[in-house]
Chain A
């Protein structure tokens, strides 16, 4: 076993949660993400960096985001892009946007960003000044890469009743998807989970069902969200959902605490529960999603002689 294989091996057995979805809808573990091949592509998802947060659950959110960026920049095969699924800042302050924007600017791969509710407190001006997209003033947009159709949703601008898309955005999604073939792989990004993951804590998009209905005719749909600071996977028919870990701090599993919020982990354990996700899409085969913490949980790996 050479060094590279060993690192891959440790990365999977020690740190990664890797799974893939077969056509039957069953999840199976996959060994590790390889580089893109014939028409496929690899991208990375990060989320919930909360720059400006400074409480004991993570007094150094800049440091943990930097570790995340370093890990991504060190990938031998650079991803096609890095998507940040929101809550870039903690309190929507211009200085917090300045910090996170300059940090993410050091990524080798292009950045795709969208706001979380922490990025639009008191309005979206500060977010738009830092990350706004001129050709998509409302934030929602789509793009195509290597035969995959990517849709970026914003479900935090009408946040009075949990996550909400609003009719304008749903109408736009309807038109956007109507132009796609059913065989085209679809990947949807948004901050708040698009389905009712745990409405008791606001972990749902009130009008998400309207978009999920539009997605049903496609062969393979992947919906990637943030907001809840933990990896939760879920499947409904042809749609597979996966929420991502935070780069800052974890939150309790649904229903395991009185309220959601920053979760204090035992000393030394934080880097084992925050991190980033690598998504690999290959034409003709199911996508694989691999979640890597910033540091492996305690594991003893014995390299083969």
Chain B
């Protein structure tokens, strides 16, 4: 109980905004000069990844198996996706199909802890 209260107090005092926002993605993939970086990206099940288009051209983040699709990201556009299954996910840009990368998702070592953050 004390631990929970401490956690609550910490959460309140450290929150920059009184309205709780979605957890900040721990992983960011930048799209720059017609390439995704980092690639491959290694994450755990439940991790959230933010993709940011730093190019002047629009791009997409589209799974080769179509399991996810950002649709069009214009310049400075962002798209956030939470990977809920383990596996290697290949993706590409629908507008520039030679742009290819992968996200490698493995089972989290302590999924319960990671999941409690929300």
Contacts and interface: CB of A to CB of B under 8 A. Distances in A.
B96 A121 contact: no
A261 B92 contact: no
Nearest to B72: A91
Interface in B74-98: 74-75, 92, 94-98
A259 B75 contact: no
Contacts of B74: 90-91
B114 interface: no
Chain B: interface secondary structure? loop
Interface string A209-223: 000000000000000
A261 B96 CA distance: 11
B72 A161 contact: no
Contacts of A121: 58, 60, 71-72, 94-95
Contacts of A93: 72
B69 interface: yes
Nearest to A56: B56
B94 A122 contact: yes
A278 interface: no
A92 B95 CA distance: 11
A122 B62 CA distance: 8
A90 B96 contact: no
Given A160-B92, A261-B56, A122 B71 contact: yes
B34 interface: yes
Which range holds the interface residue count of chain A?
A: 10 to 19
B84 to A, nearest CB: 20
A162 B56 contact: no
Contacts of B98: 162, 202
A254 to B, nearest CB: 15
Interface string A49-67: 0000001000000000000
A202 B71 contact: no
Given A90-B58, A121-B94, A55 B72 contact: no
Interface residues of B, number: 19
A191 interface: no
Given A91-B74, A93-B72, A122-B72, A55 B94 contact: no
B64 interface: yes
A203 B49 CA distance: 32
A159 interface: yes
Contacts of A90: 58, 74
Interface string A104-121: 000000000000011011
Interface on chain A toward B: helix, strand, loop, or mixed SS? loop
A292 to B, nearest CB: 28
A248 to B, nearest CB: 14
Contacts of B75: 55
B6 to A, nearest CB: 45
B58 A91 contact: yes
A160 B98 CA distance: 8
B57 interface: yes
Contacts of A120: 94
B103 to A, nearest CB: 17
Given A121-B60, A259-B34, A159 B71 contact: no
Interface of A: 55, 90-93, 117-118, 120-122, 159-162, 202, 259, 261-262
Q: What 5 A-B pairs are tightest by C-beta distance, nearest first? A: A122-B71, A91-B72, A121-B72, A160-B97, A261-B57
Given A55-B75, A91-B72, A122-B71, 13 more contacts: A55-B56, A93-B72, A120-B94, A121-B58, A121-B71, A121-B72, A122-B62, A122-B69, A161-B97, A162-B97, A162-B98, A202-B96, A259-B34
